[in-house]
Amino acid sequence: MPCCYALGYRFYSKFIAAKILALDALRATPAERLENGRDFLVTNKWVVFGHHFAAIAGPGPLVGPVLAAQFGYLPGTLWVLAGAVFAGCVQDFVILLFSVRRDGKSLTEMAKEEIGRVGGFVAYAAVIAILLILLGVVALVVVNALKDSPWGTFTIAMTIPIALSMGLYLRRIRPGKVLEVSALGFLLVLLAIWGGQWAAQDPAMAHVFTLRAPTLAILIILYGFAASALPVWLLLAPRDYLSTFVKLGTIALLAVGIVALHPTLHMPALTRFVDGSGPVFAGKIFPFAFITIACGAISGFHALISSGTTPKLIARETQTRMVGYGAMMAESAVAVMAVIAACVLQPGVYFAINSPAGIVGQTAAAATATISSWGFPVTAAEMQALAQAVGEQTLFNRTGGAPAFAVGMAHIFSQSLGGATVMAMWYHFAVMFEALFILTILDAGTRVARFMIQDALGHIYKPLGRTSWYPSILATSALIVGAWGFFLWQGVKDPLGGINSLWPLFGIANQLLATVALCVATTIIIKMHRARYAVVTLVPLAWLVAVTFTASWQKIFDLNPRVGFLAQARALALGPATSATARLIFNNRLDAAVTAVLVVMVALVLIESVRQWIGVLSGREEARIKEAPFVMTRLVEERG
Amino acid sequence: MNRILKAAQILRAALREIFDEAAYERFLRRTHVISSKSAYADFCRERESSQARRPKCC
């Protein structure tokens, strides 16, 4: 693994930097030219690297590889390595550099300027769609991790007063001392994890904190609304700081644990489920492994970060290689750690945790019999002992990836630090780590989507665009929370566990955004008269088009009801009618429609891009790029 | 030893940047005020209007 990254960075990224992008250390960056001490600021390259990595690394590279481990450890690992080196790192690197050369413009703005209005509109719509689907699906991961888990629910519930206290401490007692208050908050969270076992053991407390999935979903929807409407300093910022603190520490700890322990992988290289009959999610290895693992290999969302804060901090063009290409390699390494965490589990245990009751059966006996019949032996007693070891009532049907990752991580940690006696603590630490981070994304994502909607509505009625006008805040917050809450509710009520439908939908949406980003990158490369090297972005673009369009087609039209949305709607219509049937049919048809709309929009961008390429290459259109004019850097002491 | 010291300094600077402590210091310098409850409140307001709009990746 380190060899792949070393070769990719040393040779491939250097080739891109020299032959295509022609990085110029003498060209002043927007951080220097537009420095204002606020957004634009010349910053040490390692500091920018840390900042960029903290922004791009989320729960995606942890959850996706765990889900894709149903195909075996090999497909996910190969895709994470090759995808990152040849696609993800390239996308992040070139988009970062192009944004640096355009005064830090966003992907949406670059798409509009370089491809046309269609490109800009589609990028905008894709961002909104991805945010909503993402928020729904990550909320579902939290619900599945916390349902019927008083310990986990108590710990996460405690993070709300902890974050509020941090906000008040920062505001009233020690203004600006974020690192100090984050360390204090982290200690309080550790205390909450330790205290969670009492909440689980005390009958009265256990009754309060043992919640079913629909109740948790409603609470999370209400929380999302409150977090969006509250002042940012009170809840959003402190939780953001706390989760970043926990995230960076945990990733470092997991890396140390894996290196120290050298854990044995029990999952085979390939499982029988490459044929598409997997219980975690249905669909063949192609295309579904490649949309299930997004963030660890290539993620369109990264293009938003690479054209957001980061380009405004870069001191020299030559640093974009280390920050853009290098940070994505680090994220890819995190995804490999997630593959390891999932694959150190016995396969029977992995499938018992990740398979929905609708597939393996409602009882422990039925589930273990079904899973053992697949060739992955597991017993009810084994699962019960494992559940007791991690302080849970049961580990069956804990779909979503987070519980399996937590068990794997607890397994690695407990073997290297503390032994089996602290496995429950490590498990709940891992659940807390994932849930805390996901809730931060819910906070921030809801607010970002709210701002985007308010910006758009402001063109229709000016007061709606004012981010301080409370009627607008409440209305747009309700709109956004209602939209992702719909997907969450759909997942909670889905007899196949929700992840089966929603994670592929999220993967498709995310990879379609990467398609838009690569269209922008290829268009710019061709306009720069580097067409003979455009293959560097064209190959990943072609691969993503093949993956996402095939996945979309199959998710809409496949005749297998576990794969195709429309086939599932038809199967439901023909089956026994229950009170939920009509809603499930509607949900499936809506998912099909959302997928179709996304694909059509991206196809339009692709057509528009190809039209541009042909025009430029045939000489019919002038290759006009919208770069900021060259200005010589004044950072003479740092040249070289 | 010097290298370790430099690495520790960079790590600290990165953490201060990630956790907005450096941004707060720049804000204090730019606005010529000293750290106080009201200065931090102003900083938070400014931060909300710009940084809170940035998406967080999945």
Report the alpha-carbon distance of residue A344 to residue A378 in Å, rounded: 15
Q: Are B55 and A138 an interchain contact pair (Cβ–Cβ within 8 Å)?
A: no
What's the mean per-residue pLDDT of chain A? 91
Q: Are B21 and A176 an interchain contact pair (Cβ–Cβ within 8 Å)?
A: yes
- The average pLDDT across A493-502 equals 79
B chain contacts of residue A233, beta-carbon cutoff 8 Å = 41, 44, 48
- The average pLDDT across B36-49 equals 87
Report the alpha-carbon distance of residue A361 to residue A375 in Å, rounded: 17
Q: Are B26 and A301 an interchain contact pair (Cβ–Cβ within 8 Å)?
A: no
Q: Which of A3-12, A64-73, A466-475, A542-551 has the lowest mean pLDDT?
A: A466-475
**B28/chain A closest Cα distance in angstroms:** 10
Q: Are B19 and A245 an interchain contact pair (Cβ–Cβ within 8 Å)?
A: yes
Quick one: what percent of chain A has pLDDT higher than 90? 60
Tell me chain B's radius of gyration from C-alpha atoms.
Answer: 14
Q: Are A241 and B41 an interchain contact pair (Cβ–Cβ within 8 Å)?
A: no
B chain contacts of residue A510, beta-carbon cutoff 8 Å = 58
The b-or-e profile of A172-182 (16+ CB within 10 A means b, else e) is: eeebbbbbebb
Considering CB atoms only, which of B35, B46, B57 is closest to A295? B57
B chain contacts of residue A60, beta-carbon cutoff 8 Å = 57-58
Find, in chain A, the residue whose alpha carbon is nearest to that of B13. Answer: A47
Q: Are A448 and B54 an interchain contact pair (Cβ–Cβ within 8 Å)?
A: yes
pLDDT tens-digit series, residues A189-201: 999 999 998 988 8
The interface pTM score, or ipTM, of the predicted complex is 0.87
Q: What's A2-148+211-630's CATH class?
A: mainly alpha
Report the alpha-carbon distance of residue A135 to residue A144 in Å, rounded: 14
Q: What is the pLDDT of residue B56?
A: 67
Considering CB atoms only, which of B11, B18, B51 is closest to A244? B18
Considering CB atoms only, which of A51, A233, A440 is closest to B14? A51
Q: Are A244 and B44 an interchain contact pair (Cβ–Cβ within 8 Å)?
A: no
Report the alpha-carbon distance of residue A208 to residue A210 in Å, rounded: 6
Q: Are B44 and A233 an interchain contact pair (Cβ–Cβ within 8 Å)?
A: yes
Q: Are B54 and A309 an interchain contact pair (Cβ–Cβ within 8 Å)?
A: yes
Identify the residue with better confidence: A578 or A314.
A314
Q: What is the pLDDT of residue A327?
A: 95
Tell me chain A's radius of gyration from C-alpha atoms.
Answer: 24
For A43, the 3-state DSSP assignment is strand
Tokens 């840390």: give the residue: A50
- The average pLDDT across A318-336 equals 95
Q: Check whether A640 has a pLDDT greater than 50.
A: no
The predicted model scores a pTM of 0.90
Structure tokens at A234: 């009170």
| Confidence tier at A37 by pLDDT (50, 70, 90) | confident
Helix (H) or strand (E) holding A476: helix A470-493
E-strand stretches of chain B: none
Report the alpha-carbon distance of residue A239 to residue A230 in Å, rounded: 13
What single-letter DSSP state applies at residue A462? Answer: G
Amino acid (1-letter code) at residue A385: A
CB pairs under 8 A between A and B: 134
Nearest partner of A290 among A543, A571, A522, judged by Cα: A543
Considering CB atoms only, which of A59, A179, A305 is closest to B21? A179
Q: Are A49 and B14 an interchain contact pair (Cβ–Cβ within 8 Å)?
A: yes
B chain contacts of residue A39, beta-carbon cutoff 8 Å = 50
Report the alpha-carbon distance of residue A371 to residue A348 in Å, rounded: 6
Considering CB atoms only, which of B24, B48, B52 is closest to A176? B24
Q: Best interface-test mutation with B: which of A53, A179, A228 has the largest number of B CBs within 10 A? A: A179
What single-letter DSSP state applies at residue A174? Answer: S
Find, in chain B, the residue whose alpha carbon is nearest to that of A506. Answer: B58
**CA diameter of chain B:** 42
| Confidence tier at A260 by pLDDT (50, 70, 90) | confident
- Residues A523 and A613 sit within 8 Å (Cβ to Cβ): yes
pLDDT tens-digit series, residues A369-410: 999 999 999 999 999 999 999 989 899 999 889 899 999 999
pLDDT tens-digit series, residues A290-308: 999 998 999 988 998 899 8
- The average pLDDT across A205-228 equals 92
The b-or-e profile of A600-616 (16+ CB within 10 A means b, else e) is: ebbeebbebbeebbeeb
**B1/chain A closest Cα distance in angstroms:** 19
Find, in chain B, the residue whose alpha carbon is nearest to that of A437. Answer: B58
What single-letter DSSP state applies at residue A262? Answer: -
Residues 6+ apart with CB under 8 A from A433: A246, A247, A250
Identify the residue with better confidence: A575 or A592.
A592
Report the alpha-carbon distance of residue A452 to residue A407 in Å, rounded: 38
A chain contacts of residue B55, beta-carbon cutoff 8 Å = 127, 131, 301, 304-305, 308, 444-445, 448
**A559/chain B closest Cα distance in angstroms:** 31
Phi, psi of A635 (to 5 degrees): -80, 60
B chain contacts of residue A402, beta-carbon cutoff 8 Å = none
- The average pLDDT across A132-159 equals 90
- Residues A422 and A414 sit within 8 Å (Cβ to Cβ): yes
**A93/chain B closest Cα distance in angstroms:** 16
The b-or-e profile of A267-284 (16+ CB within 10 A means b, else e) is: beeebebbebbbbbbbbb
**A309/chain B closest Cα distance in angstroms:** 7
Q: Are B44 and A294 an interchain contact pair (Cβ–Cβ within 8 Å)?
A: no
Report the alpha-carbon distance of residue A571 to residue A564 in Å, rounded: 10
Q: Are A44 and B53 an interchain contact pair (Cβ–Cβ within 8 Å)?
A: no
Q: What is the pLDDT of residue A79?
A: 97
Q: Check whether A99 has a pLDDT greater than 90.
A: yes
Residues 6+ apart with CB under 8 A from A19: A530, A533
| Confidence tier at A551 by pLDDT (50, 70, 90) | very high
Q: Check whether A620 has a pLDDT greater than 50.
A: yes
B chain contacts of residue A59, beta-carbon cutoff 8 Å = 58
Q: Check whether A458 has a pLDDT greater than 90.
A: no
- Residues A565 and A556 sit within 8 Å (Cβ to Cβ): yes
Report the alpha-carbon distance of residue A93 to residue A324 in Å, rounded: 4
What's the mean per-residue pLDDT of chain B? 86
Q: What is the pLDDT of residue A639?
A: 46
Q: Are B55 and A301 an interchain contact pair (Cβ–Cβ within 8 Å)?
A: yes
- The average pLDDT across A95-111 equals 94
**A168/chain B closest Cα distance in angstroms:** 10
B18 CB burial (10 A radius; 0-12, 13-18, 19+): buried
Residues 6+ apart with CB under 8 A from A216: A142, A143, A146, A147, A153
Q: Check whether A637 has a pLDDT greater than 60.
A: no
Residues 6+ apart with CB under 8 A from B47: A232, A237, B20, B23
- The average pLDDT across B10-39 equals 92
A chain contacts of residue B50, beta-carbon cutoff 8 Å = 38-39
**B50/chain A closest Cα distance in angstroms:** 8
What single-letter DSSP state applies at residue A281? Answer: S
All structural domains of chain B with their residue ranges: 2-53
Q: Which of A167-176, A202-211, B47-56 has the lowest mean pLDDT?
A: B47-56
Considering CB atoms only, which of A47, A236, A441 is closest to B17? A47
